[in-house]
């Protein structure tokens, strides 16, 4: 049995960081994220992401993600681009996915100062 302590939910300390990450993701892939926002019923990306409440979620296999519920049974997830809580506005994964199936509607990945970014959709 693993007696290591579970990471605490950092939700209360993350709002400003997550909002910065969402803006950075939008700067990398504005058309893709606008399309995703409209697909789930929002007017635009700002409408979709403004005022969201994120909570920490253990997604299994040691992976951690900040997650907010979206209209239509979708989730908005934010990670550090690997398997943990986001830590800065330059290195991240942001994704809109179906809550039930986990299928990604759209995602943006940035490696920050390593100079890489990717974006995709279904």
* pLDDT, tens digit, 9 for 90 and up, residues 52-97: 989 988 888 888 899 999 988 999 999 998 888 898 999 999 999 9
Strand, helix or coil at 7?
coil
Q: Indicate the number of domains in the chain.
A: 1
Predicted structure pTM score: 0.83
Output 112 or 47, whichever has higher pLDDT.
Answer: 47
Measured CA to CA, the distance from residue 65 to residue 5 in angstroms comes to 17
pLDDT grade, residue 2 (50/70/90)? very low
Above 90 in pLDDT, residue 122? no
In a domain? residue 78: yes
pLDDT at 9: 57
Nearest to 6 by CA among 42, 56, 45: 56
Tell me, yes or no, whether 105 lies in a domain: yes
Token pair listed for 15: 């709002």
pLDDT at residue 99 tops 50: yes
Q: Which residue has the tokens 């907010």?
A: 68
pLDDT at res. 102: 87
pLDDT score of 4: 40
* Structural domain that includes position 40: 11-121
Q: Select from 85, 74, 68 the least CA-distant residue to 14.
A: 85
Judge whether 2 lies within some domain: no
Q: Higher model confidence: residue 109 or residue 8? A: 109
The reply to whether 53 falls in a domain is yes
- Between the CA of residue 6 and those of 3, 9, 57, 63, 102, what are the distances in Å? 9, 9, 11, 12, 24
pLDDT digits 0-9 by tens, 6-63: 455 565 568 889 999 999 999 999 999 999 999 999 999 999 999 898 998 888 888 8
């Amino acid at each position: 049995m693993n007696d290591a302590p579970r990471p605490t939910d950092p939700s209360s300390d993350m709002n400003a960081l997550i909002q910065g990450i969402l803006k950075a993701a939008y700067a990398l892939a504005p058309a893709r994220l606008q399309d995703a926002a409209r697909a789930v019923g929002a007017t635009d990306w700002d409408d979709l992401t403004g005022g969201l409440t994120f909570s920490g979620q253990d997604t299994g296999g040691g992976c951690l993600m900040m997650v907010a519920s979206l209209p239509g049974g979708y989730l908005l997830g934010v990670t550090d681009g690997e398997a943990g809580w986001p830590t800065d506005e330059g290195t991240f994964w942001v994704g809109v996915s179906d809550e039930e199936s986990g299928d990604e509607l759209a995602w943006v990945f940035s490696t920050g100062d390593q100079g890489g970014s990717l974006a995709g959709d279904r």
